[in-house]
Structure 1
Amino acid sequence: MSDLDLHPSPHLCGGRDDVSAQPVRELLAPREANLGGSTVVRRLLPNLGRRMVGAWAFVDHYGPDDIADGSGMQVPPHPHMGLQTVSWLHDGEVQHRDSLGSLQTLRPRELGLMTSGRAIAHSEQSPVPHARLLHGAQLWVALPDAHRHTSPAFEHHATLPLVTAPGLTATVILGELDGAASPGTTYSPLVGADLALASGSDVRLPVNPDFEYAVLTMSGATDVDGVRLDPGSMLYLGCGRTELPLRALSDSGLLLLGGEPFDEKIVMWWNFIGRSHDDIAQARADWMTGSRFGAVTGYDGAPLPAPELPPVALKPRGRVR
């Protein structure tokens, strides 16, 4: 899971100053980026209007892509620091390798959770042979300062808890939803859930009023709190809700992301999350000199070189613009 932008912008995110204490309906427009191979993604976070939702700091949605005649996803070894990556699929398979020696094929609605902590490297690619379709989301969770130097780890959870209601099946990816808790390790109060809605269903999902939320449409057409969402669109919802109205206009798939507004200011550049320019510069130097992050074995190809740092010190850009 990587930001492959050759000229990544620095982002200072976090803090509560720009978090609405009341429900809002803010539609976030995606921008396209190449994830490697034939995979083009719609990037929803960081966004020109909003940088974070709780501790969720990066959201890519890709597919469904027909990769029957192509290589599919091909993301060479690259580093991460100060964050967790969440791999989530609706169709296809992705093979994960990392510098801890992990090798895991991830399949639809299985959780691949990598905690980078102080440093880790990994690669992602479609296996050979691979399924015809590839469709999923890639997400990052910022680690709070007290845990950002923790030891790196990788978790795979093939079975996750469900919350059900007429017309709704919710898979709890991370955190807790309506009393069901994911086995995935978290370091701040948050939730991630995959919502499968049957056409015509009309439900009110219980949510935590202390959390801010956003909803990403993976497939189908859905009315979320009165706002129509089509695939690839994301709606920021603010805080202060006890329930979320959902009405499916067709069979639909959504990702619900939420959490307590992240108190800390963070600098995010390329595949690193730190607290200062020096944090980022040191991480880049360590990756380029082959120290600290370890090596990914088994991937047929060279690791990604880091982009050049900006010619000036990384500056705060604020939680929202």
Structure 2
Amino acid sequence: MTNLDPKPQERVCGDDAVRAGSTIIEPREVPLGGPRAMTVRRTLPARQRSMIGAYCFVDHYGPDDVSTTGGMVVPPHPHTSLQTVSWLFSGQIEHRDSTGVVATVVPGQLNLMTAGHGVCHSEVSVVEPGVEQVLHGVQLWTALPAESVDVAPHFDHFEPEPVRVDGASVSVFLGRLTLPGGREVSSPVPTYTPLLGAEIRLDPGAELVLGLDRGFEHGVLLDRGGLNLDDGCDLARSHLLHEAPGPESMTLRAGEEGADLILLGGPPFGEQIVMWWNFVGRSHEDVVAARERWQAELGHDPDGRFGAFDYPGGESLPAPAMPHVRLRPRGLGPRR
């Protein structure tokens, strides 16, 4: 997915002073391009916080009937120095990228694209007979650490086996998670920093106690239902709770309708990054160079930095104009 904000703000993230306790981040609505744009609810980056571990971007979208709204139509666009994590609850998306991958993203299956030094891709809702027309899911980005920013782009796919425990179904798509009784569930997908990503579906009234890595900060994104956490916090739909490192466990309590959520985690990133539009860099110059190269290629040069692929839907997305000021550090606290 792309950031289609015509005037994207730069974000410099990492190595902030970890705040005690938890913070709730409210979503803001962002149109995903065009007059029939699908609206997504974005919680990262935000004024309160720009990262949770290496996660630097969180979009939550749907349920959206793509047969009437037009759904997701994101033409070829670039990425650098990050990974895109696609996870669906319903519907289907066709993914194409310049590594040669053509894949259908379906519910319950992880699709992870590593941009490395540069890649371009497209994402389009599948609208055809026999396919669920309600699109609903999350798109996450993770920043690559400095030693991995120039890796070759590649694509990983994984279908985790849901685990039933204490009135809940748990699907771990990245990293590992400790369930009641000390059982560990893990994903074999390699990551460049330690990460946790899991979908958890709680039955009505269920209570689930999870073991946490004390060195991780965590995020809880509520997709559906009512949810109460062990600190007495009630989380609203599409809101993201950030939990600082330290706790050894987390208790999730579902309301009478049950609850579906995404659990994220990772150690504080420990590096500063500049994120602008679809690029992650370490400096203003990194972002300028990536934008200039994309504008020169626009997905038409198979031997270029971003490569090319066959996209039947039209032209690639041009980058927005750079701001008239130098991209600079802003930190992770409230913006001044």
Q: TM-score range by the shorter chain?
A: over 0.9
1:142 paired residue number: 143
2:300 paired residue number: none
Letter in 1 for 2:266: G
Report the Cα distance in structure 2 between the residues aligned to 1:151 and 1:34, rounded to whole angstroms.
Answer: 31
Cα-to-partner distance string for 1:34-67 (whole Å, 9 max, x where unaligned): 1245310010000111000000000000111122
Structure 2 residue 326 is the aligned partner of structure 1 residue 313: yes
**5+ long unaligned stretches in structure 1:** none
Report how far residue 163 of structure 1 moved: 4.1
Secondary structure, aligned partner of 2:69: coil
Cα-to-partner distance string for 1:96-128 (whole Å, 9 max, x where unaligned): 000111101111111010000000000000123
1:86-125 matches, within 5 Å, as 86-125=85-124
2:30 paired residue number: 33
1:143-222 matches, within 5 Å, as 143-157=144-158, 159-178=159-178, 179-222=184-227
Report how far residue 131 of structure 1 moved: 2.3
Report how far residue 161 of structure 1 moved: 4.1
Cα-to-partner distance string for 1:233-291 (whole Å, 9 max, x where unaligned): 11111111111010000221100111000010000000010000010000000100013
1:294 paired residue number: 307
Secondary structure, aligned partner of 1:319: coil
1:266 paired residue number: 273
Report the Cα distance in structure 1 between the residues aligned to 2:293 and 2:213, rounded to whole angstroms.
Answer: 40
Report the Cα distance in structure 2 between the residues aligned to 1:242 and 1:87, rounded to whole angstroms.
Answer: 28
- Aligned-residue sequence identity (percent) comes to 45
Cα-to-partner distance string for 1:136-177 (whole Å, 9 max, x where unaligned): 0000000000001100001122x2144432111111111111
TM-score, normalised to structure 2's length? Answer: 0.92
1:255 paired residue number: 262
Between the two proteins, the alignment pairs up a number of residues equal to 317
User: Contact 2:220/2:264 (CA < 8 Å) preserved in 1?
Assistant: yes
TM-score, normalised to structure 1's length? Answer: 0.96
User: Contact 1:160/1:183 (CA < 8 Å) preserved in 2?
Assistant: no
Cα-to-partner distance string for 1:2-43 (whole Å, 9 max, x where unaligned): 10111000000011x3213x4x12110111111245310010
Report the Cα distance in structure 1 between the residues aligned to 2:320 and 2:284, rounded to whole angstroms.
Answer: 15
Secondary structure, aligned partner of 1:304: coil
User: Contact 1:267/1:274 (CA < 8 Å) preserved in 2?
Assistant: yes
Secondary structure, aligned partner of 2:285: helix
Report the Cα distance in structure 2 between the residues aligned to 1:280 and 1:55, rounded to whole angstroms.
Answer: 19
Report the Cα distance in structure 1 between the residues aligned to 2:127 and 2:240, rounded to whole angstroms.
Answer: 32
Letter in 1 for 2:229: V
Secondary structure, aligned partner of 1:69: helix
1:14-25 matches, within 5 Å, as 14-15=14-15, 17-20=16-19, 22=20, 24-25=21-22
Report the Cα distance in structure 2 between the residues aligned to 1:299 and 1:155, rounded to whole angstroms.
Answer: 23
Secondary structure, aligned partner of 1:285: helix
1:225-240 matches, within 5 Å, as 225=230, 226-240=232-246
**5+ long unaligned stretches in structure 2:** 179-183, 298-303
Secondary structure, aligned partner of 1:284: helix
